[in-house]
Chains A and B, each alone.
Chain A
Amino acid sequence: MAQQIDARGLSCPQPVVLTQQAIADGERSITVTVSSSVSKENVIRILERNGYTTDSRDDGDDIVVSGNK
């Protein structure tokens, strides 16, 4: 079961901070919902730097980023 993070509407860098915590908790599968392409890029960057393979898709006005390793 992937850890779900709802980071919609949160400003920089809170989506990254939340993702970082999930990474630190050793989650192997993380899903982050964000509201802007900036947050998407930032979340993807921290996931990939930590060895996750990432994917993203639009969900209405939001963007869902998933990371797995």
Chain B
Amino acid sequence: MKNILSTRWGIILAGALIGTIAVSLQFLGNPPNMGVCVACFERDIAGALGLHRADVVQYLRPEIMGFVIGAFFISLALGDYKPRGGSSTLIRFFLGVFAMCGALVFLGCPWRALLRLAGGDLNALLGIAGLIVGIAIGVVFLKKGFSLGRAYPLKKAAGWIFPAVMLGLFLLLAFQVSFSEGGPVFFSQKGPGSQKANLYISLAAGLVIGAIAQRSRFCTMGSLRDIILTRDTHLVSGIGSLLVFAFIFNLIYGQFNPGFEGQPIAHTDHLWNFLGMTLSGLAYALAGGCPGRQLILSGEGDNDAAVFVTGMIVGAGIAHNFSAASSPKGVGAFGPAMVVIGIVFCLIVGFTMRDRMKA
């Protein structure tokens, strides 16, 4: 069957829908310029589970569950469901950890960088510049034969695990389970973690985006990488469309406030906005997908992507527990150190994981 969403117009439609849904979720209660942010929402999930105790960012975000489960069902229905894994598992885990550390220094994944820009937050420009530099470094490694090795087909049931985990998280959310007095599951009473659209609207939005992103192969990192690597503008038309539609709907909703200062859930430290996203961009490029794409791949049965996502969730715990995450007040005390460690790790991985270039 012809996949309409994988055409040029398909990816433009996908970007338009993701942008529109994201800013609409903001209008319906999600945090400002954070309609859907994969990094932020995974961080909120980490907080809800008690992996960190930053009490303003704890919520089991149904959007994340929707992405995985939506991608799972559509890939199952249309033949893209292929459980696979076994490609440098531990490296992918730590790429996820450091990708999250970088994202939490900037305060957002590439999706949120676009949403921040569409909302007028000019600090996002530094982040996007860093993202491009990080991806460009990754492309140099790719051209020199960087490879994390082959993934191999797994048994059908292996691909169910991650969607099942997401379903479990959804049940914890739906029933607001408390495991002990003063213990998890934690739900923020104030701050971004307390700002949320209706649970079922968020879940539906996640399912729709998950399905569309799966069919269209939407990927922010991939779009920038393809331009640098092959001058292919296919994917980038999707992120252009996301940006335009998010901007238009922000104007309609009255959510557009241009400037650097006083932007929601953002800081103005240009250097670390840039370098945080440089780290993330490099980690995404080495792992083969932006955080959103990794969730979608997890739904398709890609266990390596699911390990990357798990690394990101654990990374959020590390970033907050070790004072490496930024806040609107600025960069965390150990944020810069974590970025440097992460970049060193990624460079070592980039230099050492190489195949001869003949297949």
Contacts and interface: CB of A to CB of B under 8 A. Distances in A.
A18 B79 CA distance: 25
Given A36-B80, A38-B217, A13 B288 contact: yes
Interface string B215-228: 00101001001100
Interface in A1-16: 4-14, 16
A33 to B, nearest CB: 9
B148 interface: yes
B273 interface: no
Contacts of A46: 230, 232
B303 interface: no
Contact of A13 (B80, B82, B148, B222): B222
A10 B232 CA distance: 20
A67 to B, nearest CB: 15
Nearest to A7: B359
A17 B142 contact: yes
Interface of B: 3, 6, 79-80, 82, 84, 87, 142-143, 147-148, 150-153, 217, 219, 222, 225-226, 229-230, 232, 234, 288-289, 304, 357, 359
25 contacts: A4-B359, A5-B359, A6-B359, A8-B150, A9-B84, A9-B151, A9-B152, A10-B147, A11-B288, A12-B222, A12-B288, A12-B289, A13-B225, A13-B229, A14-B142, A16-B230, A17-B142, A18-B357, A18-B359, A35-B84, A36-B80, A37-B79, A49-B230, A61-B82, A61-B153
